[in-house]
Amino acid sequence: MTDQAGAQDERLAEVLDAYVARLQAGQRPDREAVLRDHPELGSLLDCLEALERFAPPSGGMVHPSETVDLVPQGAGSPCDFGAYVLLEEIGRGGMGVVYKARQRGLDRIVAVKMILACHLASAEHVRRFQEEARAAAALRHPNIVHIHEVGQCHGHHYFAMEYIEGQNLAERAAGGALDAQTAARLVAKVACAVDHLHRQGYIHRDIKPSNILVDADGEPYVTDFGLAKVFLPGTEATATGAIVGTPSYMAPEQAAGQSAEVGPASDVYSLGAILYELLIGQPPFRQETPLDTLLAVLGGEPKPLRQIDRRVPQGLELIAMKCLARAPSQRYASAAALADDLERFLRHEELEARPPHLVQRVYRWFRREPALAARLATLFSFSTVEAVVYALGRVDSAFHRTVSILVVTWAVTALGLQQFLKRGRWPFVARYLWGTLDSALLLAVLLVADGAASSLVVGYPLLIVASSLWYRVRFVWFTSALSLVSYGVLVWDFYVRRPELQARCYSGFERHVVFVLALLAFAGVTAHLVDRLRSLSTYYGPKGQEGRW
C-alpha cells in the first residue's frame, strides 16, 4: 500500500514539474486536461499560477510571454512586442494594462492595450477584450479614441490605439472643482461622442472621469469600451442580475442589475454624475465602500449642487439633476439632447431642464434623508392622531401639552443630529446619540401615556427596523439593547409604579416575555440582513475603493 502511494506521489510530482516547466517557458499549459486526470492538484495549480504571475523576471530583457508587466510604470527599458516597442506602462484596470509604445513601420507613438496576466486569462476575459476592440474599432468620432490594429503577439491579445498626450479627467479634476464654463464644454463634447456611440448601437455602461482622456488643448476623448453592450434589436443582453460598471457613476437600473432596462439613458445618468463631480469635486454618491455606494444609488437622491456650493450656476444644477433623475424617462431623451442643453447654457439661452415642482422636491428630500424622514413622518402621524383624540375630549389638556412638548423636542433633536451627520461632524457620536435619544423620548411618551398597556409599544420594533437604515450591525444591536432596557422600565412601571394599569389589559407576565422575545427576533433578523450586506461590501471591495462591479 505504501509503495502504491509512493508511486502515485512520484507521478503527481512529474506532472507538476512538467506544468511548471511549461509556465516558465512562457507557454499555456492545458489546465483542464491536467485536472481531468488529477483533480487533487487543483489547489496546487492555483498556487503555482499565482506565484508564476507575480514572480519577478530573472534578468535581462523581459519577454512578453513571461509576464504582463513588460515594462514598469513610468519610465523603463523599452521592450520589443511584435511591430511595437513598448516604452512605459501608462494605465492599468481590472482586465487590461495599457502601454505607451512606438510603432516601428509608421514611426508613430500609440497606446497598446492587452489583457492582464494573459497566460491565466479565461475565455470570458478574452471574449470581453475582443468585444471591447470590436466596439471601439467600429466608432469614428473626433472625441472617441481611434483603434489602429487588433492582434495577438506571443500569446497576448492586444489592440493598438491612438495615443493621447495628456491626462484623464479624474486626474485633471483631482485638484478640485472646475469652473462652470470648462465643465459644461467638456461634458457637452463627451455627450456628443456618447451620442455617436449610441447611434452605432452601443451603450458604454462605464462612463466615468478616468475613462475620459483630456489632451494638452483640453479636448476630451472617450475610451475603455470593456463594458460596452450592443443594444440593437435581436442582440443578446447581459443576464438579469449582473451588476457591471462603477458604483459612483451607475444609473439606478444598472446598479439594480436590471439589464433589460439599461440603455442610452443609463449613459446619460453617468454623464450627469461626471458633470456633478466636475462642478463640486465629488460624485453624487461616494460612500465608505462600493456596496454602500451602490445602496445609496439604489435608494437615495443626490443632494442639489447649490446646497453644497452656491457658486454653481442654477442652470448647470438643473441640467445635472435632470440627468440624475431616478426614472430613465425623466432624464434627457438622448445624449445629444444633453449636449444641446449644455450648449444653450453656454450661450445663455433658455434651457430644456426645469426646476422640480413642490411634490418632486419633497419626494427627493425623503429619499435623501430616509432616517430623518421616517422619524418626522412617524412623529407627524402620531401628533395628528393625538390632536384628534384631544379634540374629541378623550385626553386632558395636561397630557396633550406634555406629549406635544415631547414630540417637538424629538423632531428638533432629530433635525439637529441630522445636520451633524450631513456635515461629517462626529458621525459616530451623533448616530449613537440619536439612537439613545429615540429610545429615551419614546420611553418618556409611554410613561406619560399608559406605559406597557399602551399600543405605542409598537414603537420599539419600529426603532429597531429604522436603525438598519445606517447599515451598521452594531448600531442595530445597540438600539435593540436600549429598547429592551426601556421596555424593562415599562414593566416595572406596569407592576410597581402604576399597578392600576393592569386593569386596562391582560396583566399576565408572559405577555411581556412574548413581547421581549419578539423584539429579540426583530433585532436578530434585522442585524442578520445588515450583516449580509456588510459581508457583500467586504467581498466586492475594501474601504474607500472605487471598484468596478
Domain boundary among the residues 109, 135, 162 is at 162
Same domain? 329 vs 386: no
User: Which residues carry out catalysis?
Assistant: 206
Same domain, 107 and 17: no
| Residue 8 structural domain | 2-54
Q: How many CA atoms lie within 13 A of 267 on its CB side?
A: 34
Is 203 among the domain residues? yes
Of 162, 183, 212, the position where a domain reaches its end is: 162
Judge if 325 and 388 occupy the same domain: no
Of 363, 398, 415, which residue is a domain's last? 363
Residue 410 within a domain = yes
Pair (175, 46) in one structural domain: no
In a domain, 74, yes or no: no
Strand, coil or helix: 256: coil
Question: For residue 110, what pLDDT is reported?
Answer: 93
* 377 and 392 in a common domain: yes
**545 in a domain, yes or no?**
no
Asked if 209 contacts 170 with a C-beta cutoff of 8 angstroms, the reply is yes
Could you tell me the CATH number of the domain that includes residue 291? 1.10.510.10
Specify the pLDDT at position 176.
84
- Which DSSP category does 542 fall into? -
Closest CA to 242 of 534, 537, 548, 542: 548
Measured distance CA(361)–CA(355) in Å, rounded = 9
pLDDT of residue 389: 86
Contacts 24+ apart (CB under 8 A), 85-90: 86/112
Mark whether 233 and 315 lie in a shared domain: yes
Residue 511 forms part of a structural domain: yes
Domain-located, residue 60: no
CA distance 165 to 186: 17
Q: Are 194 and 287 found together in one domain?
A: yes
**Contact of 421 with 430, CB cutoff 8 Å:** yes
Burial of 273 (0-12, 13-18, 19+ CB in 10 A): buried
Measuring CA to CA, which residue among 254, 245, 250 is closest to residue 272? 250
333 and 196 co-located in one domain: yes
Res 13: pLDDT? 63
Q: Tell how far CA 189 is from the center of its chain.
A: 26
CATH number of the domain bearing residue 94: 3.30.200.20
Q: Which of 316, 302, 299 is nearest to 470 (CA)?
A: 299
Q: For 447-490, what is each residue's pLDDT tens digit? A: 998 899 988 899 999 999 988 877 789 999 999 999 999 999 99
Is 468 found in the same domain as 338? no
Clarify whether residues 379 and 342 are in a common domain: no
Is 101 found in the same domain as 40? Answer: no
> Into how many domains does the chain fold?
4
State which residues of the chain have pLDDT below 70. 1-14, 16-17, 19-28, 40-77, 93-95, 116-125, 226-245, 424-425, 535-549
pLDDT of residue 468: 87
Give the pLDDT confidence score for residue 1 in this predicted structure: 45
DSSP 133-158: HHHHHT---TTBPPEEEEEEETTEEE
- Residue 374 within any structural domain of the chain: yes
Q: Are residues 188 and 237 in the same domain?
A: yes
What gap in Å lies between CA 389 and CA 369, rounded to an integer? Answer: 30
**Residues 116, 97: contact at Cβ < 8 Å?**
yes
Nearest alpha carbon to residue 507 among 493, 519, 521: 493
Give the strand pairing for 79-81 and 96-103: unpaired
**Range 343-347, long-range pairs (CB < 8 A, 24+ positions):** 343/188, 345/184, 345/313, 345/315, 345/316, 345/319, 346/181, 346/184, 346/185, 346/188
How far apart are the C-alpha atoms of 279 and 282, rounded to whole Å? 8
Determine, yes or no, domain membership for 63. no
